[in-house]
Structure 1
Amino acid sequence: MPFSKKARSLLIAVAGGHGALFGYLLCTGNDKFYQDVVMPVARLAISDGEKAHSAMITLCKWGLVPKYQCANDRLQTRVFGLDFCSPLGLAAGFDKHGDAIKGVYRMGFSHSEIGSVTPQPQPGNPKPRVFRLVEDQAIINRYGFPSVGHARAHENIQKGIRYKTGPLGINLGANKTSANVVQDFVDGVNAFADLADYFVVNVSSPNTPGLRVHQKREKLLELLTAVLKARDALQRKIPLLLKIAPDLTKEDKESIAQTALELNVDGLIVCNTTISRPETLKSIHKNEAGGLSGDPEKDVAMETLRDMFELTKGRIPIIALGGISSGEEAYRRIRAGASLIQVYTAFTYQGPPLVKRINDELEAFLKRDGLRNIADAVGIDRLGPSPSGYGDRLITLEEQIAASNV
């Protein structure tokens, strides 16, 4: 029996109302809606992790993501000479080619890291190379630095740079077939000197054969000396950070800390993905080759952070990542010695509302403990309040607070 005119109007009104509600919850970044509906449906609709990643990059490129602006004095901080509206940034590996700048900052991240970018274009490792471990809230990837190369990435970043509202880092990598790894990093410094707010030397990816050997003392000294020389020759002083692996021996950590202090490296990023596989993993993909990230990496990432903070005596600012999925975990890393934090895997599972939730929870913890700002919390579980400075020109906590206008 055909619908009456009144029934059709009612159906249209109901459908329109539900559509409007869906659109409102989607655009405003309703946390529960994303966790219960959007992200699970998205995983079902796009079962391949790499295709889902590409789809999110496209949405970010066009700014089709919820908008959130962090404007909280308590969360503002100043690290290695740069101002951050909050400690929470997006780790390298998401925006590999500089395509997603508009959306990343629109979602409220205080900083974003592009890359890793290699001098020459390269496809990375064969597909499939991204595996969701949903039961474990984790990902295993073996991307192998797929890159459009310096020239194309520079062009992409130039197009999107007007949308950035906070520091932009360039994570530098080396080509898989490079005859001179050191020169690849030096070339990266020169290629992005006009765009980078900070550089990252990434010798900690497990997916490029022979790369992690550059974390050893002799190789690391050679590499960092050359890269710092190139950086120092630039017209402006751009902070240089070193990203390390979690899979390090005690001797490795001591050597890296000693080298970083000797050469006045401006910061450490602790840490990259792990090649370890905790026995708690449940997913059928748990034995895939590659780097594991997400919740199962949390303990080893925290241990590495604590060790590096103590070995550097709190003198080198640290960006912490690896298994951070809540404000509570972010706060634990800050109290253990991190000046800034980054997320990636948790973002792929929880979506854009994660940014606001972590910031809100961080603020609540600071209030609970009577702390004025993030700088007050850095390292208080380890060595007491520590200054966050810029390389060899460390500033006192009081000077940092004054500089941050808190």
Structure 2
Amino acid sequence: MISQRELIWRKAKSGIVLGVTGTVAFGGIGVWSGNEKFFEQFIAPILTFVDPEWSHRAAVNLARFHLQKRGILDDPPNLRANLGPLEVPNPIGIAAGFDKNAECISGLRRTGYGWVEIGSVTPIPQEGNAKPRVFRLPQDKAVLNRYGFNNDGHEQVYSRVQQFKSEHPGYIVGVNLGANKDSSNRISDYCKGIERFSDTADYFVINISSPNTPNLRDLQKSETLPELLQNVMLTRDSQTRRVPVFLKVAPDITDADIKSISKIVLSKETKVDGIIISNTTIKRDNLESDAKLTQESGGLSGKPLERTSTFLVAKFYSELKGQVPIIGVGGIWDGKDAFAKIQAGASAVQIYSVVAYKGLGVVNAMKKELSEILK
């Protein structure tokens, strides 16, 4: 005969199991649906207690195994955009850093992104910087990272990109190239990337603006940038396919830097096909999050970067006089933010940090809002 205490315990245990199961199911359905409001209100607060790098890995796997509801793939005509010589169905792509190793391009396409940029990829696989290396700053709607180009290297990433492109040849995939931390010739590293991916990439990004590889940003300087771009362009032009080359710049630059970079990328021997503005910032102005977090080393992305990056888009657009297409990146949280970048001179935009707060499906809400604004 079951005692009263045993009966109470069984009922309590059943209630706990039912409650946990219901909560997991509720959360799972919400994540699968791609509803950004659900994610923002219910999932994001829970993730504040979870290691941010683990969350990033979980999001990659969601896309990798198609555990996200299919998004809007039939985009309205008014969202069509150009990345230099390339046409995309909508102007909202996902920036490099999310899918570092080309593991989930198919899932990101399925979710509704106009295109995907993978990487940064270095010639030799590397672990990146020591953990912890990613931090959430929820009060500032920001993310701080010092990953340090952790990736599987050219060969493994190449095979994944090639496999995807064999199945979806018309979908645009950019390959963001980096240099190994201990490389003795960083310019050579970028050229190796062009040689390896030239038969499968739709465009290249020369990423010399990450703050997490020592002295990498020195390549942006007027004394070194021409040599880098000359070598990159000569390598690109010697390949069978003439793949467009974009340059990604840091937000922590002066007006003199803007003028210098603009002059270089417009010069005949070093003219690029596009410029991406911008990477993460090392500045920590007016942040409200815990000082222990804000003072961690690394690059800051998210909402605090929005105004700075939009201002830089406008500055570069004025200097380049429309001769070099611009992709705007930094702090885009909704369709209005995307439109602000376009108004400033961007041909298209990329998102990343907002995914940590609103989920991968946020792109569909952005597209709807942007389409309405454009109408």
Q: TM-score, normalised by structure 2?
A: 0.90
4+ residue runs over 4 A deviation: 12-25
> Which stretch shifts more, 170-179 or 147-156?
147-156
Aligned to 1:202: 207
Superposed CA deviations along residues 96-127 of structure 1, whole A, max 9, x for unmatched, are 11111121111110111111100011111111
Structure 1 contact 108–355 (Cα < 8 Å) conserved: yes
One-letter code of the match for 1:63? H
Superposed CA deviations along residues 133-164 of structure 1, whole A, max 9, x for unmatched, are 11111011111111211111112223333257
Aligned to 1:65: 68
Aligned partner (choices 320, 323, 328) of residue 328 of structure 2: 320
One-letter code of the match for 2:347? S
Q: Secondary structure at the match of 2:294?
A: coil
Question: Structure 1 359/233 Cα, relative in aligned 2: closer, same or farther at 3 Å?
Answer: same
Q: Secondary structure at the match of 2:256?
A: helix
Structure 2 contact 84–273 (Cα < 8 Å) conserved: yes
Residues in 1 aligned to 2:19 and 2:52: alpha-carbon distance in whole angstroms:
34
> Which stretch shifts more, 74-83 or 19-28?
19-28
- Flag structure 1 segments of 5+ consecutive residues without an equivalent: 4-11, 368-406
- Flag structure 2 segments of 5+ consecutive residues without an equivalent: 9-16
Superposed CA deviations along residues 353-395 of structure 1, whole A, max 9, x for unmatched, are 310111111111111xxxxxxxxxxxxxxxxxxxxxxxxxxxx
Structure 2 contact 172–202 (Cα < 8 Å) conserved: yes
Superposed CA deviations along residues 194-243 of structure 1, whole A, max 9, x for unmatched, are 21000000000011111101111121100001001111111122110000
2:146 aligned with 1:139 = no
Residues in 2 aligned to 1:100 and 1:276: alpha-carbon distance in whole angstroms:
31
Residues in 2 aligned to 1:319 and 1:188: alpha-carbon distance in whole angstroms:
21
1:168 CA displacement: 0.3
Count the aligned residue pairs.
360
Superposed CA deviations along residues 261-319 of structure 1, whole A, max 9, x for unmatched, are 11321000000000111123323411111100000111211121111111111211000
Q: Secondary structure at the match of 2:295?
A: coil
**Aligned positions of 1:7-406 closer than 5 A:** 24-44=29-49, 46=50, 48-70=51-73, 71-161=75-165, 162=167, 166-262=171-267, 263-284=270-291, 285-367=293-375
Residues in 1 aligned to 2:281 and 2:98: alpha-carbon distance in whole angstroms:
17
Question: Structure 1 365/345 Cα, relative in aligned 2: closer, same or farther at 3 Å?
Answer: same
Residues in 1 aligned to 2:172 and 2:96: alpha-carbon distance in whole angstroms:
13
Structure 2 contact 102–157 (Cα < 8 Å) conserved: yes
> RMSD of aligned C-alpha atoms?
2.4
Q: TM-score, normalised by structure 1?
A: 0.83
Residues in 2 aligned to 1:50 and 1:16: alpha-carbon distance in whole angstroms:
25
One-letter code of the match for 2:178? G
Residues in 1 aligned to 2:271 and 2:301: alpha-carbon distance in whole angstroms:
29
Question: Structure 1 17/141 Cα, relative in aligned 2: closer, same or farther at 3 Å?
Answer: closer
Question: Structure 1 18/303 Cα, relative in aligned 2: closer, same or farther at 3 Å?
Answer: closer
1:39 CA displacement: 2.9
- Percent identity reads 41
One-letter code of the match for 1:90? I
Structure 1 contact 242–269 (Cα < 8 Å) conserved: yes
Question: Structure 1 348/163 Cα, relative in aligned 2: closer, same or farther at 3 Å?
Answer: farther
Residues in 1 aligned to 2:239 and 2:170: alpha-carbon distance in whole angstroms:
24
> Which stretch shifts more, 347-356 or 332-341?
347-356
1:18 CA displacement: 8.7
Question: Structure 1 222/365 Cα, relative in aligned 2: closer, same or farther at 3 Å?
Answer: same
1:42 CA displacement: 3.7
Residues in 2 aligned to 1:166 and 1:156: alpha-carbon distance in whole angstroms:
14
